[in-house]
Amino acid sequence: MGNVVVVGTQWGDEGKGKVVDLLAARAELVVRFQGGNNAGHTLVVNGEQTICHLIPSGILHKGKKCLIGNGVVVDPEVLLEEIKKLRAKGVSVGPESFSLSEKAHLIMPYHRAVDLAREAAKGKDKIGTTGRGIGPCYEDKAGRTGIRAVDLLEPDTLKEKIAGNLEEKNFYLTKFLHAEALAFQPIYESYLSMAEILKPYISDVSLEIDEAIREGRRILFEGAQGTHLDIDHGTYPFVTSSNPVSGSACAGAGVGPDKLHHIIGIVKAYTTRVGAGPFPTELLDETGDYMQERGAEFGATTGRRRRCGWLDLVLVRDAARLNGLSSLSITKLDVLTGLKKLNICVAYALEGKRIEHRPASINKLALCSPIYEEMPGWRDDISSARERDELPREAQRYLKRIEEIVAVPLSIISVGPGRGETIILKDPFAPSQ
Protein backbone atom coordinates (compact mmCIF):
# COMPACT_ATOMS: atom_id res chain seq x y z
CA MET A 1 0.00 0.00 0.00
CA GLY A 2 1.29 3.44 -0.80
CA ASN A 3 0.62 7.12 -1.00
CA VAL A 4 0.26 8.85 -4.34
CA VAL A 5 1.21 12.34 -5.51
CA VAL A 6 -0.50 13.83 -8.59
CA VAL A 7 1.41 16.57 -10.42
CA GLY A 8 1.06 18.43 -13.69
CA THR A 9 3.89 17.99 -16.19
CA GLN A 10 3.14 21.00 -18.40
CA TRP A 11 1.87 24.54 -17.66
CA GLY A 12 -1.11 23.49 -15.57
CA ASP A 13 -4.62 22.61 -16.74
CA GLU A 14 -3.53 19.09 -17.65
CA GLY A 15 -6.79 17.59 -16.46
CA LYS A 16 -5.48 16.70 -13.00
CA GLY A 17 -8.97 17.15 -11.53
CA LYS A 18 -10.40 14.12 -13.27
CA VAL A 19 -7.47 11.87 -12.31
CA VAL A 20 -7.56 13.14 -8.72
CA ASP A 21 -11.28 12.48 -8.65
CA LEU A 22 -10.72 8.90 -9.86
CA LEU A 23 -7.91 8.24 -7.41
CA ALA A 24 -9.75 9.93 -4.54
CA ALA A 25 -12.20 7.03 -4.68
CA ARG A 26 -9.29 4.76 -3.65
CA ALA A 27 -7.76 7.15 -1.08
CA GLU A 28 -8.84 7.93 2.46
CA LEU A 29 -7.21 11.34 2.73
CA VAL A 30 -6.76 13.94 -0.02
CA VAL A 31 -4.25 16.71 0.64
CA ARG A 32 -3.39 19.93 -1.16
CA PHE A 33 0.14 21.18 -0.56
CA GLN A 34 0.80 24.33 -2.66
CA GLY A 35 -0.84 27.10 -4.67
CA GLY A 36 -4.15 28.66 -3.79
CA ASN A 37 -7.35 29.66 -5.52
CA ASN A 38 -5.38 30.34 -8.70
CA ALA A 39 -6.09 26.64 -9.33
CA GLY A 40 -9.42 25.41 -10.56
CA HIS A 41 -10.31 21.77 -10.97
CA THR A 42 -13.29 21.09 -13.15
CA LEU A 43 -14.98 17.85 -12.23
CA VAL A 44 -17.83 16.17 -14.04
CA VAL A 45 -19.92 14.09 -11.69
CA ASN A 46 -23.20 12.57 -12.90
CA GLY A 47 -22.97 14.87 -15.90
CA GLU A 48 -22.81 17.98 -13.72
CA GLN A 49 -19.78 20.30 -13.59
CA THR A 50 -18.28 21.42 -10.29
CA ILE A 51 -15.25 23.67 -9.97
CA CYS A 52 -13.13 23.53 -6.83
CA HIS A 53 -10.45 26.16 -6.30
CA LEU A 54 -9.24 25.41 -2.79
CA ILE A 55 -10.93 22.42 -1.21
CA PRO A 56 -9.36 19.20 -2.51
CA SER A 57 -11.48 17.52 -5.16
CA GLY A 58 -11.91 14.45 -2.92
CA ILE A 59 -14.64 16.31 -1.07
CA LEU A 60 -17.17 14.99 -3.58
CA HIS A 61 -16.54 11.46 -2.29
CA LYS A 62 -18.32 10.49 0.90
CA GLY A 63 -16.22 9.51 3.89
CA LYS A 64 -12.94 11.09 2.75
CA LYS A 65 -10.92 13.56 4.74
CA CYS A 66 -9.73 16.55 2.70
CA LEU A 67 -6.88 18.65 4.01
CA ILE A 68 -5.30 21.94 3.03
CA GLY A 69 -1.62 21.82 3.96
CA ASN A 70 0.63 24.59 5.23
CA GLY A 71 2.10 25.18 1.76
CA VAL A 72 -1.20 26.45 0.37
CA VAL A 73 -2.12 30.14 0.47
CA VAL A 74 -5.75 30.46 1.47
CA ASP A 75 -8.21 33.22 0.75
CA PRO A 76 -10.71 32.65 3.57
CA GLU A 77 -13.46 34.44 1.71
CA VAL A 78 -13.11 32.06 -1.23
CA LEU A 79 -12.87 29.06 1.07
CA LEU A 80 -16.10 29.95 2.85
CA GLU A 81 -17.86 30.59 -0.44
CA GLU A 82 -16.73 27.16 -1.66
CA ILE A 83 -17.97 25.44 1.49
CA LYS A 84 -21.31 27.19 1.03
CA LYS A 85 -21.55 26.20 -2.64
CA LEU A 86 -20.71 22.57 -1.93
CA ARG A 87 -23.24 22.39 0.90
CA ALA A 88 -25.89 23.77 -1.46
CA LYS A 89 -25.15 20.79 -3.73
CA GLY A 90 -25.70 18.44 -0.83
CA VAL A 91 -21.98 17.76 -0.21
CA SER A 92 -21.22 17.54 3.49
CA VAL A 93 -18.32 19.80 4.55
CA GLY A 94 -17.66 19.64 8.28
CA PRO A 95 -14.55 19.21 10.44
CA GLU A 96 -14.86 15.44 9.99
CA SER A 97 -14.37 15.86 6.23
CA PHE A 98 -12.19 18.96 5.97
CA SER A 99 -9.21 20.54 7.80
CA LEU A 100 -7.15 23.64 7.19
CA SER A 101 -3.55 23.75 8.38
CA GLU A 102 -2.97 26.24 11.15
CA LYS A 103 0.28 27.13 9.41
CA ALA A 104 -1.28 27.97 6.04
CA HIS A 105 -0.81 31.62 5.06
CA LEU A 106 -3.87 33.73 4.41
CA ILE A 107 -4.49 35.86 1.34
CA MET A 108 -5.51 39.32 2.48
CA PRO A 109 -7.36 42.01 0.50
CA TYR A 110 -4.10 43.93 0.11
CA HIS A 111 -2.52 40.92 -1.61
CA ARG A 112 -5.23 40.96 -4.25
CA ALA A 113 -4.95 44.75 -4.59
CA VAL A 114 -1.16 44.58 -5.08
CA ASP A 115 -1.45 41.70 -7.57
CA LEU A 116 -3.98 43.57 -9.71
CA ALA A 117 -2.32 47.00 -9.51
CA ARG A 118 1.10 45.56 -10.33
CA GLU A 119 -0.18 43.71 -13.38
CA ALA A 120 -1.98 46.84 -14.56
CA ALA A 121 1.21 48.88 -14.11
CA LYS A 122 3.27 46.35 -16.10
CA GLY A 123 1.03 46.75 -19.17
CA LYS A 124 2.26 44.60 -22.03
CA ASP A 125 4.99 43.08 -19.82
CA LYS A 126 2.50 41.61 -17.40
CA ILE A 127 2.78 38.00 -16.29
CA GLY A 128 -0.91 37.36 -16.78
CA THR A 129 -1.51 36.27 -13.17
CA THR A 130 -4.91 35.10 -12.05
CA GLY A 131 -5.17 38.28 -9.95
CA ARG A 132 -5.97 36.31 -6.81
CA GLY A 133 -3.11 37.73 -4.71
CA ILE A 134 -1.09 34.51 -4.82
CA GLY A 135 2.35 36.04 -5.47
CA PRO A 136 2.05 38.88 -2.93
CA CYS A 137 0.90 36.40 -0.25
CA TYR A 138 3.90 34.12 -0.83
CA GLU A 139 6.13 37.24 -0.76
CA ASP A 140 4.89 38.06 2.74
CA LYS A 141 5.39 34.45 3.78
CA ALA A 142 9.03 34.59 2.68
CA GLY A 143 9.36 38.09 4.13
CA ARG A 144 8.09 36.77 7.48
CA THR A 145 5.26 39.25 7.72
CA GLY A 146 2.49 36.88 6.61
CA ILE A 147 -0.70 36.14 8.49
CA ARG A 148 -1.43 32.46 9.12
CA ALA A 149 -4.63 30.56 9.87
CA VAL A 150 -3.47 30.18 13.47
CA ASP A 151 -3.55 33.98 13.82
CA LEU A 152 -7.31 33.84 13.27
CA LEU A 153 -7.54 32.21 16.68
CA GLU A 154 -5.77 35.14 18.41
CA PRO A 155 -7.69 38.37 17.74
CA ASP A 156 -5.00 40.64 19.24
CA THR A 157 -2.23 39.12 17.15
CA LEU A 158 -4.49 39.34 14.09
CA LYS A 159 -5.20 43.00 14.75
CA GLU A 160 -1.54 43.88 15.23
CA LYS A 161 -0.45 42.01 12.10
CA ILE A 162 -3.15 43.48 9.85
CA ALA A 163 -2.38 47.00 11.07
CA GLY A 164 1.39 46.57 10.63
CA ASN A 165 1.05 45.12 7.14
CA LEU A 166 -1.52 47.63 6.02
CA GLU A 167 0.69 50.59 6.84
CA GLU A 168 3.38 49.30 4.50
CA LYS A 169 0.98 48.02 1.80
CA ASN A 170 -0.97 51.28 1.67
CA PHE A 171 2.24 53.21 1.19
CA TYR A 172 3.24 50.88 -1.65
CA LEU A 173 -0.24 50.82 -3.18
CA THR A 174 -0.73 54.59 -3.22
CA LYS A 175 2.78 55.97 -3.71
CA PHE A 176 4.21 53.39 -6.08
CA LEU A 177 1.30 51.66 -7.79
CA HIS A 178 -1.03 54.68 -7.77
CA ALA A 179 -3.88 52.54 -6.49
CA GLU A 180 -6.40 53.09 -3.70
CA ALA A 181 -5.47 52.64 -0.03
CA LEU A 182 -7.39 50.03 1.99
CA ALA A 183 -9.06 50.71 5.34
CA PHE A 184 -8.10 48.69 8.44
CA GLN A 185 -11.45 48.28 10.21
CA PRO A 186 -13.47 46.47 7.51
CA ILE A 187 -10.61 44.04 6.90
CA TYR A 188 -10.15 43.31 10.60
CA GLU A 189 -13.86 42.85 11.18
CA SER A 190 -14.41 40.59 8.21
CA TYR A 191 -11.42 38.38 9.13
CA LEU A 192 -12.64 38.19 12.74
CA SER A 193 -16.07 37.04 11.64
CA MET A 194 -14.63 34.55 9.15
CA ALA A 195 -12.38 33.25 11.96
CA GLU A 196 -15.49 32.27 13.91
CA ILE A 197 -16.71 30.05 11.07
CA LEU A 198 -13.30 28.62 10.22
CA LYS A 199 -12.20 27.85 13.81
CA PRO A 200 -13.46 24.25 13.89
CA TYR A 201 -11.55 23.38 10.73
CA ILE A 202 -8.14 24.77 11.75
CA SER A 203 -5.82 21.96 12.82
CA ASP A 204 -2.32 20.52 12.69
CA VAL A 205 -2.55 18.88 9.28
CA SER A 206 0.91 17.31 9.49
CA LEU A 207 -0.13 15.47 12.66
CA GLU A 208 -3.40 14.34 11.07
CA ILE A 209 -1.49 12.94 8.13
CA ASP A 210 1.01 11.24 10.42
CA GLU A 211 -1.76 9.55 12.34
CA ALA A 212 -3.37 8.36 9.11
CA ILE A 213 -0.05 6.96 7.91
CA ARG A 214 0.41 5.06 11.18
CA GLU A 215 -3.07 3.57 10.70
CA GLY A 216 -2.11 2.45 7.19
CA ARG A 217 -4.61 4.72 5.44
CA ARG A 218 -4.06 5.70 1.82
CA ILE A 219 -3.23 9.33 1.06
CA LEU A 220 -3.50 11.24 -2.18
CA PHE A 221 -1.48 14.44 -2.52
CA GLU A 222 -3.14 16.74 -5.06
CA GLY A 223 -0.79 19.13 -6.86
CA ALA A 224 -2.00 22.35 -8.46
CA GLN A 225 -0.64 24.17 -11.55
CA GLY A 226 2.18 22.37 -13.38
CA THR A 227 5.93 21.73 -13.36
CA HIS A 228 6.73 24.50 -15.85
CA LEU A 229 4.92 27.06 -13.68
CA ASP A 230 7.20 26.13 -10.75
CA ILE A 231 8.88 29.16 -9.18
CA ASP A 232 12.28 27.40 -9.28
CA HIS A 233 12.03 25.09 -12.26
CA GLY A 234 9.47 26.80 -14.50
CA THR A 235 9.68 29.41 -17.24
CA TYR A 236 10.63 32.18 -14.77
CA PRO A 237 9.34 34.89 -14.45
CA PHE A 238 6.21 33.56 -16.20
CA VAL A 239 5.50 31.20 -13.35
CA THR A 240 3.40 30.96 -10.24
CA SER A 241 4.89 31.67 -6.80
CA SER A 242 4.93 28.15 -5.37
CA ASN A 243 6.56 24.80 -6.19
CA PRO A 244 4.11 22.53 -8.02
CA VAL A 245 6.77 19.76 -8.26
CA SER A 246 6.25 16.58 -6.24
CA GLY A 247 9.00 17.31 -3.69
CA SER A 248 6.93 20.21 -2.49
CA ALA A 249 4.31 17.78 -1.14
CA CYS A 250 6.73 17.11 1.72
CA ALA A 251 7.31 20.70 2.79
CA GLY A 252 3.79 21.80 1.94
CA ALA A 253 1.97 19.10 3.90
CA GLY A 254 4.54 18.28 6.60
CA VAL A 255 5.51 14.72 5.63
CA GLY A 256 8.85 13.06 4.93
CA PRO A 257 9.88 11.99 1.40
CA ASP A 258 9.77 8.33 2.44
CA LYS A 259 5.97 8.66 2.67
CA LEU A 260 5.51 9.40 -1.05
CA HIS A 261 5.38 6.14 -2.97
CA HIS A 262 4.02 6.76 -6.44
CA ILE A 263 4.31 10.04 -8.34
CA ILE A 264 1.91 10.28 -11.22
CA GLY A 265 2.54 12.96 -13.84
CA ILE A 266 -0.49 14.22 -15.75
CA VAL A 267 0.18 14.88 -19.43
CA LYS A 268 -2.46 16.47 -21.62
CA ALA A 269 -2.27 14.90 -25.11
CA TYR A 270 -1.39 18.37 -26.46
CA THR A 271 -0.05 21.50 -24.74
CA THR A 272 -1.84 24.56 -23.37
CA ARG A 273 -0.81 27.65 -21.47
CA VAL A 274 -2.68 30.58 -19.95
CA GLY A 275 -1.00 33.86 -19.28
CA ALA A 276 2.14 35.16 -20.96
CA GLY A 277 5.51 33.51 -21.67
CA PRO A 278 7.23 31.61 -24.49
CA PHE A 279 5.48 28.51 -25.85
CA PRO A 280 7.58 26.80 -28.56
CA THR A 281 4.87 24.46 -29.91
CA GLU A 282 2.05 27.03 -29.87
CA LEU A 283 -0.32 26.82 -32.87
CA LEU A 284 -1.78 30.09 -34.04
CA ASP A 285 -3.74 28.40 -36.81
CA GLU A 286 -6.92 26.40 -37.27
CA THR A 287 -5.35 23.30 -35.64
CA GLY A 288 -4.82 25.36 -32.47
CA ASP A 289 -8.44 26.54 -32.71
CA TYR A 290 -9.58 22.93 -33.18
CA MET A 291 -7.85 21.89 -29.93
CA GLN A 292 -9.14 24.97 -28.14
CA GLU A 293 -12.73 24.35 -29.17
CA ARG A 294 -12.85 20.55 -28.87
CA GLY A 295 -10.94 20.67 -25.59
CA ALA A 296 -13.07 23.57 -24.23
CA GLU A 297 -9.79 25.23 -23.32
CA PHE A 298 -10.91 28.08 -21.13
CA GLY A 299 -9.28 28.72 -17.73
CA ALA A 300 -11.35 27.24 -14.88
CA THR A 301 -10.43 30.19 -12.66
CA THR A 302 -10.34 33.22 -14.94
CA GLY A 303 -12.32 32.02 -17.96
CA ARG A 304 -9.42 33.10 -20.20
CA ARG A 305 -8.96 31.31 -23.53
CA ARG A 306 -5.99 28.95 -23.24
CA ARG A 307 -3.23 29.04 -25.84
CA CYS A 308 -2.93 25.62 -27.54
CA GLY A 309 -0.19 23.71 -29.33
CA TRP A 310 1.34 20.32 -30.13
CA LEU A 311 2.49 17.99 -27.38
CA ASP A 312 5.91 19.16 -26.19
CA LEU A 313 7.82 16.19 -24.81
CA VAL A 314 10.84 18.33 -23.95
CA LEU A 315 8.66 19.74 -21.19
CA VAL A 316 7.33 16.34 -20.15
CA ARG A 317 10.80 14.73 -20.14
CA ASP A 318 12.08 17.53 -17.90
CA ALA A 319 9.02 17.04 -15.69
CA ALA A 320 9.79 13.32 -15.38
CA ARG A 321 13.20 14.21 -13.94
CA LEU A 322 12.08 17.10 -11.74
CA ASN A 323 9.25 15.12 -10.14
CA GLY A 324 10.74 11.61 -10.17
CA LEU A 325 7.68 10.36 -12.03
CA SER A 326 6.62 6.74 -11.48
CA SER A 327 3.96 6.79 -14.20
CA LEU A 328 2.19 9.06 -16.68
CA SER A 329 -1.50 9.68 -17.09
CA ILE A 330 -2.51 10.94 -20.54
CA THR A 331 -5.59 13.11 -20.58
CA LYS A 332 -7.87 14.48 -23.31
CA LEU A 333 -6.63 12.05 -25.94
CA ASP A 334 -10.12 12.23 -27.49
CA VAL A 335 -9.61 15.93 -28.30
CA LEU A 336 -7.07 14.94 -30.99
CA THR A 337 -9.57 12.65 -32.78
CA GLY A 338 -10.18 13.90 -36.32
CA LEU A 339 -6.76 15.45 -36.91
CA LYS A 340 -5.12 13.88 -39.97
CA LYS A 341 -1.54 14.31 -38.77
CA LEU A 342 -0.13 14.86 -35.31
CA ASN A 343 3.20 16.35 -34.32
CA ILE A 344 5.15 15.51 -31.18
CA CYS A 345 7.98 17.82 -30.21
CA VAL A 346 10.96 15.66 -29.28
CA ALA A 347 13.68 18.35 -28.99
CA TYR A 348 14.31 22.04 -29.72
CA ALA A 349 16.55 23.68 -32.29
CA LEU A 350 18.45 26.61 -30.81
CA GLU A 351 21.06 28.61 -32.73
CA GLY A 352 21.64 25.72 -35.14
CA LYS A 353 21.98 23.10 -32.41
CA ARG A 354 19.61 20.37 -31.22
CA ILE A 355 18.85 20.64 -27.51
CA GLU A 356 17.05 18.08 -25.39
CA HIS A 357 16.14 20.23 -22.37
CA ARG A 358 14.39 23.56 -21.88
CA PRO A 359 16.92 26.38 -21.44
CA ALA A 360 16.69 28.48 -18.24
CA SER A 361 16.92 31.77 -20.17
CA ILE A 362 13.51 32.98 -21.23
CA ASN A 363 15.13 34.82 -24.15
CA LYS A 364 16.73 31.60 -25.37
CA LEU A 365 13.44 29.70 -24.97
CA ALA A 366 11.73 32.30 -27.13
CA LEU A 367 14.30 31.48 -29.86
CA CYS A 368 13.79 27.72 -29.65
CA SER A 369 11.95 26.09 -32.48
CA PRO A 370 10.39 22.68 -32.04
CA ILE A 371 11.80 19.58 -33.72
CA TYR A 372 8.79 17.44 -34.53
CA GLU A 373 8.12 13.82 -35.23
CA GLU A 374 5.08 13.54 -37.45
CA MET A 375 2.59 10.79 -36.75
CA PRO A 376 -0.68 9.76 -38.39
CA GLY A 377 -3.90 10.75 -36.58
CA TRP A 378 -7.13 8.76 -36.18
CA ARG A 379 -10.73 9.45 -37.07
CA ASP A 380 -12.79 6.99 -35.02
CA ASP A 381 -14.37 8.04 -31.75
CA ILE A 382 -12.25 6.65 -28.90
CA SER A 383 -14.42 7.54 -25.91
CA SER A 384 -15.79 4.02 -25.48
CA ALA A 385 -12.36 2.33 -25.36
CA ARG A 386 -11.66 0.74 -21.97
CA GLU A 387 -8.53 -1.22 -22.92
CA ARG A 388 -5.42 0.11 -24.58
CA ASP A 389 -5.78 -2.29 -27.49
CA GLU A 390 -9.32 -1.09 -28.19
CA LEU A 391 -7.85 2.24 -29.34
CA PRO A 392 -7.16 2.84 -33.06
CA ARG A 393 -3.69 1.67 -34.02
CA GLU A 394 -2.57 5.28 -34.62
CA ALA A 395 -3.63 6.31 -31.10
CA GLN A 396 -1.74 3.33 -29.67
CA ARG A 397 1.35 4.42 -31.59
CA TYR A 398 1.01 7.98 -30.30
CA LEU A 399 0.90 6.70 -26.71
CA LYS A 400 3.77 4.30 -27.24
CA ARG A 401 5.97 7.09 -28.59
CA ILE A 402 5.22 9.21 -25.51
CA GLU A 403 6.24 6.33 -23.24
CA GLU A 404 9.43 5.75 -25.23
CA ILE A 405 10.53 9.37 -25.39
CA VAL A 406 9.75 10.22 -21.77
CA ALA A 407 10.91 6.78 -20.57
CA VAL A 408 8.10 6.52 -18.00
CA PRO A 409 5.25 3.97 -18.30
CA LEU A 410 1.60 4.96 -18.67
CA SER A 411 -0.87 4.13 -15.90
CA ILE A 412 -4.10 5.94 -16.85
CA ILE A 413 -5.47 7.15 -20.20
CA SER A 414 -8.43 9.49 -20.28
CA VAL A 415 -10.58 9.27 -23.41
CA GLY A 416 -13.42 11.60 -22.40
CA PRO A 417 -14.45 13.94 -19.59
CA GLY A 418 -16.67 11.50 -17.64
CA ARG A 419 -15.39 9.34 -14.77
CA GLY A 420 -15.95 6.16 -16.75
CA GLU A 421 -14.24 7.35 -19.93
CA THR A 422 -10.92 6.05 -18.75
CA ILE A 423 -8.48 3.25 -19.46
CA ILE A 424 -6.71 2.10 -16.29
CA LEU A 425 -3.49 0.23 -16.95
CA LYS A 426 -2.11 0.26 -13.43
CA ASP A 427 -3.47 1.25 -10.03
CA PRO A 428 -1.04 3.85 -8.67
CA PHE A 429 -1.96 2.83 -5.11
CA ALA A 430 -0.91 -0.77 -5.71
CA PRO A 431 2.51 -1.70 -4.29
CA SER A 432 5.24 -1.52 -6.93
CA GLN A 433 6.78 -4.85 -7.95
Binding site for ligand IMP (CB under 6 A): 12-13, 38-39, 127-130, 132, 134-135, 224-225, 229, 238, 240-241, 274-275
Helical segments of 89-238, H only: 109-122, 134-142, 155-171, 184-198, 205-214
| Calpha distance 377→393 (Å, rounded) | 9
Angle between helix 155-171 and helix 184-198 axes, rounded to 10 deg? 140
Tell me how far, at minimum, the Cβ of 305 lies from ligand IMP, in Å: 12
Q: What's the CA gap between 87 and 89, in Å, rounded?
A: 5
Closest CB to ligand IMP among residues 38, 70: 38
Q: Which of these, 222, 233, 194, lies nearest to 52 by C-alpha position? A: 222
Cβ-based neighbours of 216, under 8 Å, separated by 6 or more: 1
For the purposes of burial, counting CB atoms within 10 Å of the CB of 329, is it exposed (0-12), middle (13-18) or buried (19 or more)? buried
Please, what is the minimum distance in Å from the beta carbon of residue 153 to ligand IMP? 28
Minimum gap (Å) between residue 73 Cβ and ligand IMP: 10
Tell me the residue type at 416. G
The answer to whether 111 is a known catalytic residue is no
Asked if residues 265 and 319 have their Cβ atoms less than 8 Å apart, the reply is yes
Burial class of 149 by CB neighbour count within 10 A (0 to 12, 13 to 18, 19+):
buried
> Do the Cβ atoms of 114 and 174 come closer than 8 Å?
no
Three-state DSSP at 67 gives strand
Nearest distance from residue 53's CB to ligand IMP, in Å? 9
* Alpha-carbon gap, residue 423 to 431, rounded angstroms: 19
Residue with the shortest CB distance to ligand IMP:
275
Please report, for residues 119, 270, 334, 378, 419, the alpha-carbon distance to residue 382 in angstroms, rounded to integers and kept in the order given: 42, 16, 6, 9, 15
Smaller CB separation from ligand IMP, 114 or 385:
114
CB of 391 to ligand IMP, least distance (A): 28
In whole angstroms, give the CA distance from residue 22 to residue 326: 18
CB environment 116-135: b (16+ within 10 A), e (fewer) = bbbbeeeeeeebebbebbbb
d(CA 245, CA 257): 13
Catalytic residue among 41, 111, 228, 261: 41
Q: Which is nearer to ligand IMP, 102 or 133 (CB)?
A: 133
Is the CB of 108 or the CB of 395 nearer to ligand IMP? Answer: 108
Whether 258 sits among the annotated catalytic residues: the reply is: no
Residue 81, class by beta-carbon neighbours within 10 Å (0-12 exposed, 13-18 middle, 19+ buried)?
middle
> Could you give the CA distance from residue 408 to residue 387 in angstroms, rounded to a whole number?
19
**Cβ–Cβ < 8 Å for 131, 112:** yes
Minimum distance of ligand IMP from residue 308's CB (angstroms): 13
Quote the DSSP letter at residue 177.
S
Tell me the closest approach of the beta carbon of residue 214 to ligand IMP, in angstroms.
33
Strands 41-45 and 48-52: antiparallel
Q: What minimum distance in Å lies between the beta carbon of 27 and ligand IMP? A: 21
Minimum distance from residue 225 beta carbon to ligand IMP (Å): 5
Q: Annotated catalytic sites, by residue? A: 13, 41
